[in-house]
Amino acid sequence: MNFCLRLVEKCDIVVFSRLSGKITAGLGKEVNHALKKGKAVYKLTQRGLVRRYQTVKYLPRLATIRLYCIWRRDQWASQRT
């Protein structure tokens, strides 16, 4: 995770989107770190970019792992039909 946070520090802006409407653990840490460092942070929505000024709440690590398992299963199933 420290490697990812160092990458965030080198960025001018951070743009993120949700997975199935949720913010995953690693992404949440990166977004909040960017805000703490004074970086511009934007959420990608269907209508475009929305600037974020406040920290985000995100899933715990185990819930993130479960979400990815469900998402992968659904992706695999949709490719088979």
Q: How many domains does the chain have?
A: 1
CA 42 to chain centroid, in Å, comes to 11
For residue 74, what pLDDT is reported?
81
User: Helices 25-36 and 61-80 meet at what angle, rounded to 10?
Assistant: 120
Domain enclosing residue 28, as ranges: 2-80
Q: What is the pLDDT of residue 81?
A: 64
- DSSP reduced 3-state for 20: coil
State the pLDDT at residue 26: 96
Whether residue 50 contacts residue 77, with contact meaning beta carbons closer than 8 Å, is answered with no
pLDDT in tens, 19-77: 989 999 999 999 999 999 999 999 999 999 999 999 999 999 999 999 999 988 888 87
